[in-house]
């Protein structure tokens, strides 16, 4: 009996010491994103935002629940096979506790099964395709980025009305096709009609033929007419299509928000309406105030579209680990994150339990132009809050 008690006490001491040791281990985060490749600008913003989010949420200590935060960076190069291998390396060889990324929806879809295989959490940021938290979802996936449906519903509010006809131009991969599908669904009940869909490769340079098909589909319509563009990365077609004078057919160009460099083309479109995920002057809260001030001080420019998303991911990680008391056990993290509310530069977000999509505000804007600002300025028309949008669960 005495020997058995001694064995039990020894086992308890091993468990206790193991638990204490785990608490002293660093919190290892992998940022798996396109450091190079076609969406490199997005990736850079996302990485800056992630690091600033971790900094803000830990009051500058880069430590949570006694665990120092380490961030490892992996480059997907914007390629699905590279992203898949990089995430497997992060979970396996590097033994990270949690991963964030990637930029491209196509890369994200390749990475989702890796999180399931290793049974570790992946926070998707900023990839957008609905299928990520829809048909390809698994329980290890959480997303701080907005999804295609959130984009679509917000833009449908901005453009949808009786006697409105719309054509779309989108890239021919998951981001573009999911975006158009969601937009078409969101228009239902607004009175507007989607009359033409045009898809082109992501590296398209000449939009003449596509624009002509769109013009032909819209020009004879007796209504208000929009060409709605869904585009990510370089080769944005707005400037080139604007040069083809769609206004001769009374066709208006419309699109959602974008990075500041892309919104230079919006200067030619004063009065254009759409919806955006983030513009640094729109949200009014302490987190965004800090981000704008610190980013301007450190980088000489305001935070951009994907900086806010990266920051949201960092703040979500810290909040989740606080809720678990420092544990990064996967089941404990998932339990903590399902339904979790957390603060971001956009205000409060909440991970919906059913599909782990972050519910969040979107912003209906109208473009204003000022001589001393090099891009078209999205001025807030209406904030669409969480309760204003019925975002479908697609998984």
Q: What is the mean pLDDT of residues 155-176?
A: 95
- Say yes or no to pLDDT of 280 above 70: yes
Q: What's the rounded mean pLDDT across residues 63-77?
A: 98
Read off the tokens for 98: 């949690």
- In order, the DSSP letters of 307-323 are HHHHHHHHHHHHHHHHH
H or E stretch including 92?
Answer: helix 80-92
Please tell me whether residue 388 adopts helix, strand or coil conformation.
helix
- pLDDT tens digits for range 107-132: 999 999 999 999 999 999 999 999 99
Under 8 Å between Cβ of 105 and 174: yes
- State the pLDDT confidence band at 72, using cuts at 50, 70 and 90: very high
Q: How confident is the model at residue 22 (pLDDT cuts 50, 70, 90)?
A: low
What is the distance between the alpha carbons of residues 75 and 79, in angstroms, rounded to a whole number?
A: 9
Please tell me the distance from the alpha carbon of residue 292 to that of residue 274, in angstroms, as a whole number. Answer: 23
Phi-psi region of 232 (alpha: psi -120 to 50; beta: other; left: phi over 0): beta
Indicate whether 370 pLDDT > 80: yes
Band of residue 23 on the pLDDT scale cut at 50, 70, 90: low
Where is 20: in which H helix or E strand?
helix 2-24
360: how many CB neighbours lie within 10 A of its CB?
Answer: 24
Host H or E run for residue 43: helix 40-57
Question: For 306-356, what is each residue's pLDDT tens digit?
Answer: 999 999 999 999 999 999 999 999 999 999 999 999 999 999 999 999 999
CA–CA dist 231, 169 (Å, integer): 8
Report the C-alpha gap between 68 and 66 in whole angstroms.
Answer: 7
Q: Is the pLDDT of residue 54 over 80?
A: yes
382: how many CB neighbours lie within 10 A of its CB?
15
């Amino acid at each position: 009996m005495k020997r058995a008690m001694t064995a039990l006490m020894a086992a308890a001491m091993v468990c206790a010491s193991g638990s204490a040791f785990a608490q002293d281990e660093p919190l290892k985060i992998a940022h798996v994103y396109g450091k190079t490749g076609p969406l490199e600008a997005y990736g850079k913003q996302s990485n800056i935002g992630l690091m600033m989010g971790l900094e803000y949420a830990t009051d500058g200590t880069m430590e949570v629940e006694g665990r120092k935060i380490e961030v490892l960076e992996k480059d997907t190069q914007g390629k699905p096979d590279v992203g898949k291998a990089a995430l497997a390396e992060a979970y396996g060889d590097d033994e990270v506790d949690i991963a964030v990324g990637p930029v491209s929806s196509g890369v994200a879809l390749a990475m989702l099964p890796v999180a399931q295989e290793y049974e570790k959490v992946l926070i998707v940021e900023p990839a957008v395709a609905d299928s990520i938290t829809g048909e390809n979802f698994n329980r290890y996936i959480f997303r701080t980025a907005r999804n295609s449906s959130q984009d679509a519903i917000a833009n449908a509010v901005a453009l949808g009305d009786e006697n409105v006809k719309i054509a779309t131009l989108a890239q021919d991969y998951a981001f573009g096709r999911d975006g158009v599908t969601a937009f078409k669904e969101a228009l239902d009940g607004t009175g507007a009609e989607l009359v033409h869909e045009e898809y082109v490769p992501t590296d398209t340079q000449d939009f003449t033929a596509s624009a002509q098909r769109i013009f032909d589909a819209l020009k004879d319509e007796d209504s208000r007419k929009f060409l709605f563009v869904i585009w990510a990365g370089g080769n944005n077609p707005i400037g080139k299509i604007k040069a083809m004078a769609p206004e001769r057919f009374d066709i208006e160009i419309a699109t959602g928000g974008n990075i500041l460099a892309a919104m230079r083309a919006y200067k030619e479109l004063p009065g254009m309406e759409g919806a955006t995920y983030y513009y640094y002057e729109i949200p009014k809260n302490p987190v965004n105030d800090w981000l704008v001030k610190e980013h301007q001080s450190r980088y000489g420019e305001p935070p951009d579209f994907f900086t806010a998303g990266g920051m949201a991911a960092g703040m979500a990680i810290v909040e989740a680990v606080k809720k678990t008391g420092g544990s990064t056990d996967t089941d404990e993290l998932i339990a903590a994150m399902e339904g979790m509310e957390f603060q971001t530069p956009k205000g409060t977000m909440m991970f919906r339990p059913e599909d782990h999509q972050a519910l969040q505000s979107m912003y209906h804007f109208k473009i204003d132009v000022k001589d001393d600002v090099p891009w078209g300025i999205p001025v807030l028309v209406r904030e669409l809050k969480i309760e204003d949008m019925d975002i479908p669960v697609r998984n």
